[in-house]
Structure 1
Amino acid sequence: MRLRLTAGEESSRVEAIAPDGSRLLFTRQFEDLEARPFLRTELWETDLTTLAAKKLRDFRWLDDAAYAPGGRLLLVAGPSEFGDAGVALPPEVIPNEGDGQLYLWTPGTDEVEALSRDFDPSVASAEWNEAADAVLLRAAVRDEVGAFRLDLGTRQYTRLETGSAVLSGFSPARDAAALAVSGSGPWQPERVAFLDLVTGETRLLLDPADSWMPAVRRGRVESWQCTVASGVTIDGRIYLPPDFDPERTYPAIVNYYAGTTPIDQAFGGRYPKEWWAAQGYVVYVPQPSGAIGYGQAHSARHVNEWGSLVVDEIIDATRQFVAAHPYVDGKRLGAIGASYGGFTTMSLVTKTDLFAAAVSHAGISSISSYWGEGYWGYTYNARSAAGSFPWNRPDLYVGQSPLFAADRVKTPLLLTHGRADTNVPVGESDTFFTALKLLGAPVEYLQVEGLDHLILEHAKRIVWSRAIVAWFDRYLKGEPQWWEELKPAPKKG
């Protein structure tokens, strides 16, 4: 038998089912322009015996909800969801509401306990496991995503060994002290493992790449830190080519995001650092200020920043990286970022000639047009530009927009963008391309027809990925042949 539990124009999302199967938590979201983030999330509970539903509370920054012992709920929400309860910052500092905090909340009384205020990892999801007598949670910790166990008696967190640096899947057992996870890491494709929370045993269940990955030549991945002029310590990773020779010099690609999340250690992906390294590049991944997973003080630097801090940090860190690694040719550096990282690329090339070539995918050239036109531009800015609008902060919306400094660009720049992008409208790259073309700057533009913010369609993604490396080959290796092969012939007439 199938029964419809919700109705109406608004979408509903199931958050959790009670351990005994008697109740269900679900959320609905509405536009609400009274306060940030200009959205309101309703949390409801349905009695699955009577089908009666009641609204438990309205939230502003709720991300996840689950059942806990004693009639309480585990909630994952922003630091400010319950006033100052989850905030670990001075009053004058605005928290980054994307930095997930864990709360133990009692419906009815609205009593709440912040469980992770002094826990630096950013919580993504949490679930009570009765057999383990603990909360099991997934959280971003620096450039990894790990599994943790929280003892509600002692309030102590313990990280669980999963065998993967970055967890993409996380499924606690319903009736056993056990956990199934999927994840990957540098040079380790996605695989599935089983964790016995009693014995601590980790057992590999599925490794789809096992039949071919052992034959792949792999390079080393090293951690490297530096302290930049702002006083911030910048974490970083270095991917070395499989045949790396420290006596040689190599071109290098610098890959960053610089938004509210770090570039994690997951294998491959849309920006495959392992593949770039296999093409003969050293790849440097710096983690500038503002990312979650490093504690609230670090993530709060993202708020109302929009490039004013992170661009200088990337330039400083890259110069230190080159100076500390003689095998990197400082005259053959490439820069690449996507989305907020694409904005960062655009900003970088207006402020430095450090890079010999750069790539921006789905970048933001004018913060005000993105704010007004993007599918979620003004709601993202509700986090990243809290309290700031085009009319009260032209220094941010104009002063930090790369478009208004386009006349400073000298670096060869490849712009790429999905034509159907609903997140960052394609006009952001259109406008920057038009400006650079009129200014006579070295620029090319690759539009991917029919695709959204993420280039996911396999055949088109292959062409897009190859074009990025071909662009770098052209300027960092002096090998333009691949680019010329991929570039379509000019239209006649």
Structure 2
Amino acid sequence: MDLATKRVDPVTKKFNPTISAQEWNPTDNFIYYRVEEGDRVNMYRYSPKTRKFEKLPLKEDVIRSFNISENGLWATYTGVSVSNSNRSYLLNLKTDESTLISDPYAEQLCSLVLGEVKDWNFKSSFGDQIEGRYYLPPNFNPNKKYPLIVYYYGGTSPTSRGFESTYPLHVYAAQDYVVYTLQPSGTTGYGQEFSARHVNAWGDQTAEEIIEGVQKFVAAHPFVDGRKIGNIGASYGGFMTQYLITKTDIFAASVSHAGISNITSYWGEGYWGYSYSAGASADSYPWNNPKLYVEQSPLFHADKIKTPLLLLHGTADTNVPIGESIQMYTALKLLNKPVEFIQVEGENHAIYDYDKRIAWNNAIYAWFAKWLKGDSRWWDSMFGEK
């Protein structure tokens, strides 16, 4: 805003990346923006003089912090990428040259063998380029058939290229899976129109894109066993897991953590239900749009589910209350469908207690081993034979 004239210039109105932080640097008179752009977090600077944005050529895929010096053309930043942990750099703002100043996890990572990560995109039947990437197992053999695990967003944030994750894709791959993640409609970081498709959709189009992407990925990669595909998601991604298996039988095993099964009950309970629904279900309520609340709720289509489903939920979840998993579990048990339900005592929307998190992760690994590899020993050792 021009303080003299009070004129406001909406400089980011047509800027597609999602802005998460901004800072004006009086030394060079640029505005610096940290943005979510696709599955990356990048830095841009904007010149009020030329009215142009410029992307900074930084060394990491996901920039976690960016700090500008007070009296010089220098900055420091930290970031991660798909196959390395947090690193710290010094950046010369005049030459754009980065100097690595700290790589604290280099020694630990040198002892690990990580599989290769590759980008893979497809054009959907809706006409969009849907971006994604896949993780190969260490010591990958292209002549072998591997089971596939598919992972997708929760909340609508993209599945990040960060190394560490609650859902560690490298760890899945290390257990001899190919892992595919994609950024379907509704994902932020791809422009307003693309992300706005999330509103009043609750799986519509997004699920079709995921199914289409999985089918095309399998067709394009002969080393994937199309009969052994698992899917996993959390929160809105947990909803998507449940919704997908009411629409298709391509998955041989599914995992939903803290997923929404009934949009109506989610709307009316928990600390986040109403506020999240104000965007996801904008101007739609159970009384003026019952079709949305019923037709898009997986619970109302539980009889269509054939895929073995593992439900996980923290008992103290204030975002998606545990009743969402209880309802789906009850329905599937009444229908004699293959389902298991693990309640993590005292944990909220994510599992942070160390020991409980280890057990929670092991349950997911064991579930996929049972249904995608035909090996139930890990699951049986944890929960007993049935």
State the distance in 2 between where 1:344 and 1:380 align: 16
Map of 1:458 onto structure 2: 354
State the distance in 2 between where 1:488 and 1:181 align: 48
Q: Determine which structure has more spread, i.e. the larger CA radius of gyration.
A: 1
**Where do 1:358-397 residues align within 5 Å?**
358-397=254-293
The one of 370, 380, 386 aligned to 1:474 = 370
Q: Deviations over 1:153-202 (max 9, x none)?
A: 11211111221111222322233222222221111112222211112121
Map of 1:299 onto structure 2: 195
What letter corresponds to residue 378 of structure 1 in structure 2? Y
The one of 210, 229, 232 aligned to 1:314 = 210
Q: Confirm or deny: 8 A CA contact 1:225 1:235 kept in the other structure.
A: yes
Q: Confirm or deny: 8 A CA contact 1:258 1:290 kept in the other structure.
A: no
State the distance in 2 between where 1:192 and 1:305 align: 40
Look up the SS of the partner of 1:125 in the other structure: strand
Q: Which runs of 5+ in 1 are unaligned?
A: 1-67, 73-105
Look up the SS of the partner of 1:262 in the other structure: coil
Q: Confirm or deny: 8 A CA contact 1:291 1:298 kept in the other structure.
A: yes
Q: Confirm or deny: 8 A CA contact 1:304 1:388 kept in the other structure.
A: yes
1:438–1:133 Cα change, 3 Å: same
State the distance in 2 between where 1:135 and 1:378 align: 35
What is the Cα deviation at residue 348 of structure 1?
0.7
Look up the SS of the partner of 1:369 in the other structure: helix
Q: Deviations over 1:449-479 (max 9, x none)?
A: 1111011121111111111111001111111
The one of 222, 225, 248 aligned to 2:144 = 248
The CA RMSD measured in Å over matched residues stands at 1.6
What letter corresponds to residue 217 of structure 2 in structure 1? F
The one of 78, 88, 95 aligned to 1:182 = 78
State the distance in 1 between where 2:79 and 2:90 align: 12
What is the Cα deviation at residue 406 of structure 1?
0.6
The percentage of counterpart residues that share the same residue type is: 48
State the distance in 2 between where 1:174 and 1:382 align: 40
Look up the SS of the partner of 1:435 in the other structure: helix
What is the Cα deviation at residue 334 of structure 1?
0.3
Q: Say if 2:105 is the partner of 1:204.
A: no
State the distance in 2 between where 1:466 and 1:153 align: 55
What is the Cα deviation at residue 71 of structure 1?
4.8
Q: Say if 2:330 is the partner of 1:434.
A: yes
Q: Deviations over 1:11-50 (max 9, x none)?
A: xxxxxxxxxxxxxxxxxxxxxxxxxxxxxxxxxxxxxxxx
**Where do 1:83-162 residues align within 5 Å?**
109=6, 111-162=7-58
State the distance in 2 between where 1:282 and 1:134 align: 43
Map of 1:283 onto structure 2: 179
Map of 1:331 onto structure 2: 227
What letter corresponds to residue 416 of structure 1 in structure 2? L
State the distance in 1 between where 2:323 and 2:11 align: 43
What is the Cα deviation at residue 142 of structure 1?
0.7
**Where do 1:337-356 residues align within 5 Å?**
337-356=233-252
Map of 1:89 onto structure 2: none
The one of 443, 450, 467 aligned to 2:339 = 443
Q: Deviations over 1:256-311 (max 9, x none)?
A: 11642211111121000011111111000011101111111211111111101111
Aligned pairs, number: 386
1:225–1:489 Cα change, 3 Å: closer
State the distance in 2 between where 1:174 and 1:432 align: 55
Look up the SS of the partner of 2:157 in the other structure: coil
**Where do 1:19-38 residues align within 5 Å?**
none
State the distance in 2 between where 1:137 and 1:321 align: 34
Q: Using CA pairs below 8 Å that are at least 6 residues apart, which structure has the higher relative contact order?
A: 2
**Where do 1:418-433 residues align within 5 Å?**
418-433=314-329
What is the Cα deviation at residue 488 of structure 1?
5.9
Map of 1:484 onto structure 2: 380
Look up the SS of the partner of 2:8 in the other structure: strand
State the distance in 2 between where 1:177 and 1:488 align: 62
Structure whose residues are more often helix by fraction? 2
1:472–1:353 Cα change, 3 Å: same
Q: Confirm or deny: 8 A CA contact 1:258 1:289 kept in the other structure.
A: no
TM-score in terms of structure 2 length: 0.96
Q: Deviations over 1:120-158 (max 9, x none)?
A: 111111010112220111001111011111111112111
State the distance in 2 between where 1:439 and 1:247 align: 40
State the distance in 1 between where 2:44 and 2:382 align: 46
Look up the SS of the partner of 2:295 in the other structure: coil
Q: Confirm or deny: 8 A CA contact 1:362 1:416 kept in the other structure.
A: yes
What letter corresponds to residue 338 of structure 1 in structure 2? A
Q: Confirm or deny: 8 A CA contact 1:357 1:413 kept in the other structure.
A: yes
Map of 1:23 onto structure 2: none
Q: Deviations over 1:49-98 (max 9, x none)?
A: xxxxxxxxxxxxxxxxxxx8x659xxxxxxxxxxxxxxxxxxxxxxxxxx
Map of 1:91 onto structure 2: none
State the distance in 2 between where 1:168 and 1:473 align: 34
